[in-house]
Structure 1
Amino acid sequence: MPINTRISALRGRRREQETLDRLLRDVRAGQSRVLVLRGEAGVGKTALLDYLTEAAPAGQVARAAGVEAETEIAYSALQQLCAPLLGCLDRLPEPQRDALATGFGLSTGNPPDTLLVGLAVLGLFAEAASERPLVCAVDDVQWMDRMSEVILTFVARRLDSESVALIFAARSPGDERILEGLPELRVEGLPDADARALLDSVLPGPVDARVRDRIVAETRGNPLALLELPRGLTPAELAFGFGGHSATPLVSRVEEGFQRRVAALPADTRTLLLTAAVEPVGDVPLLWRALERLDVGMDAAAPAAVAGLIEIGTRVRFRHPLVRSASRRSAEPAELRAVHRALAQVTDPEQEPDRRAWHRAHAALGPDEEVAGELERSADRAMARGGRSAAAAFLERAAELTPDSAKRAGRALAAAAARFAAGALAEVPELLAAAELGPLDPVQQARVERLRAKVAFALNAGRAAGPPLLVAARRLESLDPTAARETYLAAIGAAVNAGRLGGTDLRRAAEAARGLPAGGEPACLLLAGLAAWSLEGHAAAVPLFTRALASAIPETDLDLVWLSGMVMHEVWDDVAFLTRTEQSVGYARETGALSLLPSALTFRATALIYAGRFADASDLLDEAEALGNATGSSPHPATAVILAAYRGREEPALELNEALVGNAEESGLGWLLAVAGYSRAVLFNGLGRYSAALEAALDAARYEDLAVLQWTLGELVEAAARAGADTVAAEARDRLAARTRVVDTNWARGAQALADALADPAGPVEEYYREAIKRFAATRLGLQLARARLLYGEWLRRENRRADARTQLRIAHEAFTTIGADGFAERAGRELAATGETVRKRTPGAREEFTPQEAQIVRLAVAGRTNPEIGAVLFLSPRTVEWHLRKVFTKLGIGSRRELASALRDG
């Protein structure tokens, strides 16, 4: 496509233009591309965005820019970007369409989950680009509101084959975490020759070459600095290089230059500039109406336009964002309040109630209950759109303007809750302290204590969280029994997480919790069960745990999944383990409660490991990690370590294990140390290195860690029996029996039969093995069944019953190979070879050529998921899913989904 003369005239930017040209070619060819332009203010990032958008296909450009005054207005930048694309909104799935419409205030509904909005924006871009390639450009990312940043980062990481270009411009130095991990292009100053030429174009006369060199060096080739700093200086002043060397940062000096130029303008023109700077949207009719209130005529714009500071066309556009900030910083407080007041007066209270409230708040000179109430209503609207940060900002300002101390305290408390919901934990304590300055009723005081406890647990769910949670729970007992119960549950959960590193915290928390009145709710039963488990042991807790699990519906279980998932192991409930974890994930997806999804995904992945579905477990862990990247909350690391151990690849498994140990010690999470020991035992048992497995299992089994001890005892019996430590094997078998005899499930009975077979060589060993296989075959625990067959086959071979051994070992080998448990598969293969059978290695086929993403999509397609459903699971647009499936069909030599399953069986 030909590039017009204006955009091709960028001086000294050939490298950057070539990069953008390649990006556009890729997008026209059907690929999606993301790029972050980073550079200091004035270096030319906006000019490069102009170059890109003017070279893009006509009619398929969407632009937005962060505005400093709107950093707290939820979705403000995102709504700018998506506005030209909303004609495609009706093509999205209903949950996504409703989430986006609610987030943008186009309709009312439940507050949308952030990631559901992200999926909607991803789908919107893909639908728009299905007609013609789409270029989206976002400037001044450093001033973008938090919700827009989260959503666009999420989308950028998932664009693939939609013909979308998403380009950001971010100021540097700045917060480098913004858009971290995305492809970047550093925009530096101009090369010396181009910088000198640009400088010469604005110099008022000849300047000594050495002085010119100094100016170029001092500005580091920054185009805006080269153009702006010499303005208004005489040749004599320039002879000393801008009046002498300055230690002031370059950006500040450029802004100071703009301030000088603003100060030289007529008073009415300065007012016009200030009004345009405060009004963030660039709405020209609104600007003129506000200026009319300020007795400023339209002719005031001429001096600013002549000075090259502003352009007023269909929208208001500043020469550079630094002009906007220079104008604001040049104004007196009274002038700024007058401008906000005028803007509030001309802003439609029906169409833009939140902006009107924000302007009124900044126009207020002192406490004003009417404005505070308006801000509180804006906070409610922001929360309804999912804008928790915006709601918090409205509430904070509302509290500042509230004359009544009791109301002020209540609004400060509401602001603290909104900041917590937005994940801004560091800002919550100060707001809680402000709330406590005013009179709080007992219910409000309970909310303060509860919120403080939640912050403590969110910041550190291990040893450090337990004591303050316990203190908070005790205070809450007389204020709010429900809040006290939940806080005790969190305190016990923290102590469980702390494990061996928590000292007596668990006992103290359990003893305190026992004083609460009993109840039949799942949380009450779970708390009672954990207290009994802590003080009386496993057997006493089992009935309470069983009742808690039976009474918990998926909605409630989702909130308690981090504990209930472990409790399922304590009662050996494989049915709940596999069905309830699936229900939790399904509920989170269906309701859009995606902020709770990482925990649900992690526990579901653990269940799938034991079911022998390693690939599916890996998919869920990838999804949890993607969620963590998008929200800033890391998924639980334990499951990935367990999966690596069962896969049996020693080096990566041990690397993950060591990282888990470091994480545990640093955060005071002793429970993770138990997981690390158990995982090493699994790894070494699979590799046939029984002495190493014994050492790891002995270390893990020294402590009564919730759920993990039961896993570990089975590994300890196997490692000890194979290592010749018969006494240790018998002791571990007996410890396991104390935990299995109080429940009646196939999982418990199978585990105990297997332990008896290993630890009692003089007993009815074959009977034990057959019982174990029978019990595990009645469950969906495919991994445990394969291990039972392996152990039985090994025993049969040692009994010289080779034909019988081959039967069991062949089934085990095939199962482990299919599952992906490479260590156990090799162990079964060695045993099978010892029986005289030749073990065939699998021949790589088309499926080995799949990329990880293709493999995920294939598994979901074979399971019957539609393209939109697969896209929702993997955070891809349906069009990207379709593109990947076409590539899969080509690799397999098929033409449709109907042939997929059979092609995979034959491959």
Structure 2
Amino acid sequence: MFWHATLGSVRTLLGRTAEQERLSALVAGITESGGALVIRGAAGIGKSALAAEAATQARAAGAKVLSVTGSESEQNFPYAGLHQLLHPVRKGIDALPGSQREALRIALCLADGDIPDLYLVGMAALNLLSDTGTPLLLLAEDAHWLDQASADVLAFVARRLDSEPIVLLATVRDGVPSQLDTELPSLHLEPLTDDVASTLLDEVAPTLDPSVRKRLLSEAAGNPLALAELPATIQADSLLKATLPLNTRLERAFGARISTLPADTRMCLLVAALNDRGSLSEMFEAASAALGGAPVGAETLTPAAEAGLIEAALGGAGANVAGANVAGRGIAGQGEPGQGSSGQGGAWLAVGGRLAFRHPLMRSAIVQAATAAEHRAAHRALADALQKDPERQVWHLAAAATTADEGIAGVLVEAAERARYRGGVGAAIAGLEEAARLSESGELRADRLLRAADLGVEAGRSDLVERLLAEASREELSFQHRARATWIRSSFDDGLVDDTAGPIELAKLARSVFEDGDLDLAMRILWGAGMRCFWAEPGPEARQHLLDVADSLPLDEHDPRLIAILAYVAPIERGKAVAAGLMELAGQTGGDPEVERFLGSAALQIGAFELAARFSASAAAGLRAQGRLGLLARALAVHACSATRLGNLDVALPAAEEAARLAKETHQIFMYGFALSAQAEIAALRGLYAEAANLIAEAEQVALAAGARPILATVQLARGLSALGEGRHADAFADLHRVFDLTEPSYQLALRCYLIADLTEAAIRCGQEDAARKIIQRLEKDAQQTGSPSLHIGLRYARAALASDDDAEKLFLAALAGDLTGWPLERGRLHLAFGEWLRRHRRAAESRVHLRAARETFDALGLIPWSERARSELRAAGETSPRRTPDAREQLTPHELSIAQLAAEGLTNREIGQRLYLSHRTVSTHLHRIFPKLGITSRADLPAVLRNSPG
């Protein structure tokens, strides 16, 4: 990329005016707000030049630039990129909150400890950057080559920069996947126009023959690097072949230069290309060893600089040539200073004490040009030079190996375990796969491939898992290996998109695995099969198979895993046993959030919403502290659903919003849909019908193709509630009736038990009482087997509402006499229905008592349509009802409500940030938006404003 002109302090790149303006606008506002942008394009298209100019502007504006450059040789080292990025601000780690401080120190190998969750590391990195006290530009060059853990952390940080004086720019090559590129705004660089390309070529090679010039313009296709580099090798006609990809032509052009270099220079370059993490002294040592001990030094690199393969510094090592695009290579302040003599072709640009290639394609061209023997020699020499760094050494030993070597394979397995221990799942997979390649027996090879595949499930990489399983299947697999392979194939997306093993097959597999001596794997398989009973409908035969296996396992009846499995598989038949187990374990979980998550899910299945809310709230707190956002999303979804059914929308609203946000962030598409459907239900209860319709449409889009029944059932509930609120009673009954129809995709065995009151009300208002009674009769039989609070409360409502005039009053009174502690929505519903019945029977004075209770309940819960119904009935009963005072909380978004509630509890901005995985600066920004909405000026006023919260 070439600079065209200088306008003030901003240099203009040929053909990139619009792109520069977009970057300038992003950087110019850095003191007010932040953001992220991925610059994507082909190799040589000018991504680094734009990023370098943005860095220049940021420095001119007083911002500090932190940079990281991804490299292929570091992809197998977890958090290597993050270490590089954060090194200049590492002193601030000590000021972080305790759990974040320890997580980041462990991730960066500054301390030992239990494996930190990636999102806790991300939160620590965000706060470290936020607390620097100066605007920051984070520059991630070649982000597609970052190790997976670093890329995930940067993506986490990038999603939270709106209120920070921090901008993240990342460059990503076309055709190479990147976590950053899939989630962030992007700017795609197109080839230069014909006119601009012509101008650039004339500046680079003004004396080209016209026919050659025309051909080169055609072959370069608007790529600035090609236009700059190909003229130097134009005499090699074979390099200009339209059948070759441009990258290949460029690599061959660079290869032609490499072939003319002395052998010692080529070896130095090869060593640097294979190990660009290393310092110059490390490179010289390894190159000398690979050359049989021949001395190499700075002068060895002179021919490479003269050939334009490495950067030459002006004015000493570490200085930058004008317009060079090498910003941010290496960890600032680490490594030896660059070596070289300006009298011998210039000093070598060694940012952070490393050699800098002029372009990544030059590095790959060097690797391509070397022979297999030279590769092995370079890797062996590097392994010898890295005796004090076994983590890196083992990879070079593996690369140098030509046959199976169990010694190296074993060390790779150990390295993989360490990588996983540090949170580097991607690196652990790579280590196990390489260990499998070097394994001396088929059994060990299969075992390591399956272990890698299991981690692939954890990483959400279905494509990788399929490839690893296919490789493992080529070996002679034991029964345990085949069982593991079957389980792994069935582990994605809660089994919804898997057709390899249904619940019956998994039940049989679990039994066989147990009989073979592996109870833990049997339980994992059974749990996965149980989840299928939630997301899909396997039928009574499959459910019975699962129950038989669960009953046959030697487990304590109060084992949380067993209780959860029984709740999912047989929420009716085993409802009483599950309820007893939940009550037994309440308060005895030892604070283990995973156990509490299991129990919260089990309680939700049997309609014990109070217990579900209690367990899931406790689980969410523990999972927050551990930074396990994937499981936190699931716990929050359970909490939101439970709180909604109880009428506690102040709790349900922010929980559902956060569950959806975190599920999307952690790539749990069906849990995202489930949280969306919960949000739709809440919106319908609040009378926000347009918002409910939008949420319904999005949730249904997620669920329909896979037939995710809990989402579809909740969607139908939200539709029914909206229709009831709008007076479309026949539509409401039709929507709700589908959840009870076994032939409908929205039928869900457990959830259908919790829609009884809504179905009954719709049926009464549209003349479908007989249809409702048939459903109630079936549910009465279910109620004899389970102690589900929700089912029994719903049935008591239905009995009273559908009763004859002679029986209705006593049934309403019996329903109100039931234990409705913690169930304000259901109590208010009963008061409203009873009050309406009394008024219709000309008992206005008695009706007003119940209608007032209903109005007050619904006002407190924020259920506007319901409270308006109560007011309308009161007016019909002869009592004027004061207008409902709008609740200030209704002005807040769910996210703002969550922050306001925590601030009202007395938490500081930093503590709120830790709870919600935001920086304290972002929390402060939200609070300054919240105060005017609530008509207050400080957080001290929040408790009074929110005092009516029923939560």
Instruction: Give the TM-score of the pair, scaled to structure 2.
Output: 0.85
Bigger drift between 662-671 and 70-79 goes to: 662-671
Write the distance in 2 (CA, Å) between the matches of 1:568 and 1:296: 72
Is 2:36–2:169's contact at 8 Å kept on the other side of the alignment?
yes
Give the direction of change, closer, same or farther, for the CA distance of 1:554–1:36 in structure 2 (3 Å limit). farther
Q: How does 1:301-320 map onto structure 2 within 5 Å? A: 301-311=301-311, 312=348, 313=350, 314-320=353-359
Q: Does 2:766 align with 1:723?
A: yes
The residue matched to 2:232 in structure 1 has which SS?
A: coil
What 5-or-longer segments of structure 2 have no aligned partner?
Answer: 1-5, 312-347
Give 1:385's aligned amino acid.
R
Cα distance per residue 1:49-96 (max 9 Å; x no partner): 211223323682111111123223222222211111211111211111
Matches within 5 A, 1:422-821: 422-432=459-469, 447-448=484-485, 450-454=487-491, 457=494, 460=497, 465-479=502-516, 480-499=518-537, 502=539, 504-517=541-554, 519-523=556-560, 525-526=562-563, 529=566, 533=570, 538=572, 541-547=575-581, 550-551=584-585, 554=589, 559=594, 564-565=599-600, 567-569=602-604, 571-634=606-669, 635-648=671-684, 649-654=688-693, 656-657=695-696, 660=699, 663-703=702-742, 705-740=748-783, 750-775=793-818, 778-821=820-863
Cα deviation per residue 1:406-452 (whole Å; 9 max; x = unaligned)? 44444333333333332223333554565566677776666555545
Give the drift of 1:577.
2.1
> Helix, strand or coil for the counterpart of 2:755?
helix
Report what 1:297 is aligned to.
296
For 1:675 and 1:9, locate their aligned partners in 2 and report how far apart those are by CA, in whole Å. Answer: 55
SS at the partner of 1:319? coil
How far, CA to CA, are the matches of 1:463 and 1:865 in structure 2? 49
Q: 1:509 to 1:865 in 2, by over 3 A?
A: same
2:333 matched to which residue of 1?
A: none
| Residue identity in the other structure for 1:697 | L
Equivalent residue, structure 2, for 1:52: 54
What amino acid maps onto 2:202 in structure 1? Answer: D
Of the three residues 158, 161, 168, the one matched with 2:160 is 158
CA contact (8 A) 1:532 1:541 kept: no
In 2, Cα distance between the equivalents of 1:433 and 1:97? 41
**1:92–1:124 CA contact under 8 A, matched in 2:** yes
Residue 223 of structure 1 aligns with which residue?
224
Contact conserved, 1:678 with 1:708, CA < 8 A, in 2?
A: no
Tell me, what secondary structure is at the counterpart of 2:170? strand
Alignment CA distance shift 1:793-1:410 (3 Å): same
How far residue 317 of structure 1 moved from its aligned partner, in angstroms, is 0.9
Indicate yes or no: 2:131 matched with 1:97: no
Distance 1:45 1:555, change over 3 A: farther
Are 2:234 and 1:265 equivalent residues in the alignment?
A: no
CA distances 1:237-265 after superposition (whole Å, capped 9, x unpaired) = 89xxx986613222222222112222222
Contact residue 135 and residue 165 of structure 2 kept, 8 A: yes
- Structure 1 residues 364 and 11, CA gap change in structure 2 (3 angstroms): same
Counterpart Cα distance in 2 of 1:427 and 1:904: 49
RMSD over aligned CA atoms reads 3.5
Post-superposition shift, 1:542? 1.6
Contact 1:469 1:491 in 2 (8 A): yes
Candidates 271, 279, 289, aligned match of 1:275: 271
Q: How much has 1:404 moved relative to structure 2? A: 4.3
In structure 2, the CA distance between the partners of 1:744 and 1:371, relative to structure 1 (3 Å rule), is closer
After superposition, give the CA deviation of every residue in 1:756-798 in whole Å (9 maximum; x if it has no partner). 220113244344334434546x422232222222222322332
Q: Which runs of 5+ in 1 are unaligned?
A: none
The correspondence of residues 56-67 of structure 1 with structure 2, limited to 5 A, is 56-57=58-59, 60-67=64-71
Return closer, same or farther for 1:706/1:549 CA change in 2, 3 Å cut-off.
farther
Deviation at 1:878, TM superposition (A): 1.1
Matched ranges for 1:167-246 at <5 A: 167-175=169-177, 178-203=180-205, 205-208=207-210, 212=213, 215-216=216-217, 218-234=219-235, 246=242
Structure-2 change in CA distance of 1:124 and 1:570 (3 Å): closer
Match of 2:383 among 344, 365, 382: 344
Following TM superposition, by how much is the alpha carbon of 1:877 offset from its aligned partner in structure 2, in angstroms? Answer: 0.4
Separation in structure 1 between the aligned mates of residue 272 and residue 122 of structure 2, nearest angstrom:
31
For residues 503 and 737 of structure 1, the distance between their equivalents in structure 2, rounded to whole angstroms, comes to: 19
- Structure 1 residues 90 and 60, CA, compared in 2 at 3 Å: closer, same or farther? same
Residues 851 and 665 (structure 1), Cα distance of their counterparts in 2 relative to 1, 3 Å cut: closer
- Give, in whole Å, the separation in 2 of the partners of 1:723 and 1:710: 21
Q: Do the aligned partners of residues 502 and 763 (structure 1) sit closer, same or farther apart at CA in structure 2, a change above 3 Å counting?
A: same
Deviation at 1:164? 0.8
Aligned to 1:13: 16
Aligned mates of 2:728, 2:631 — CA distance in 1: 39
Cα distance in 2 for residues equivalent to 1:779 and 1:105: 51
1:862: how far off? 1.6
- Report the counterpart of residue 114 of structure 1 in structure 2: 118
**Per-residue deviation at 1:526?**
2.7
Contact 1:790–1:808 (CA under 8 A) maintained in structure 2: yes
Q: Structure 1 residues 569, 372: closer, same or farther in 2, change over 3 A?
A: closer
* Superposed displacement of residue 657, structure 1: 4.0
* SS across alignment from 2:805: coil
Change (3 A) 1:846 1:820: closer
After the TM superposition, which of the residue ranges 309-318 and 90-99 deviates more from structure 2?
309-318
Separation in 2, partners of 1:303, 1:853: 60
Q: Which AA in structure 2 matches 1:520?
A: E
Task: Count residues in correspondence.
Answer: 890
In structure 2, give the amino acid aligned to 1:136.
L
Determine the C-alpha separation between the residues in 2 that align with 1:270 and 1:459.
53
User: 2: CA distance between counterparts of 1:722 and 1:307?
Assistant: 86
- Closer, same or farther: CA 775–379 of 1 in aligned 2, 3 Å: same
Q: Does 1:886 align with 2:885?
A: no
The yes-or-no answer on 1:374 pairing with 2:411 is: yes
Query: Partner amino acid for 1:633?
Result: Q
Range that drifts further, 745-754 or 719-728? 745-754
User: Quick check: 1:286 aligned with 2:277?
Assistant: no
Separation in structure 2 between the aligned mates of residue 463 and residue 691 of structure 1, nearest angstrom: 41
More helix by share: 1
- The structure-2 alpha-carbon separation of the partners of 1:775 and 1:158, relative to structure 1 and needing over 3 Å to count, comes to farther
Write the distance in 2 (CA, Å) between the matches of 1:849 and 1:617: 16
CA change 1:16–1:822 in 2 (3 A) is same
Contact 2:574–2:786 (Cα < 8 Å) also in 1: no
Report deviation, 1:340: 1.2
Which residue, out of 411, 436, 439, partners 2:448? 411
SS at match of 1:8: strand
Distance 1:726 1:428, change over 3 A: closer
| Alignment match, 1:392 | 429
Query: For the structure 1 residues 729 and 437, does the alpha-carbon distance in structure 2 shift closer, same or farther, using more than 3 Å as the test?
Result: closer
**Distance change in 2, residues 1:328/1:625 (3 Å):** farther
Once the 2 structures are TM-superposed, how far is the Cα of residue 712 of structure 1 from its aligned partner?
2.6
For the structure 1 residues 331 and 684, does the alpha-carbon distance in structure 2 shift closer, same or farther, using more than 3 Å as the test? same
1:156 Cα deviation from its structure 2 partner: 0.6
Distance 1:284 1:898 in 2: 58
Q: CA deviation at 1:667?
A: 1.7
Cα 1:408–1:792 change in 2 (3 A) is same
In 1, Cα distance between the equivalents of 2:663 and 2:165? 26
The letter for the 1-side match of 2:53 is Y
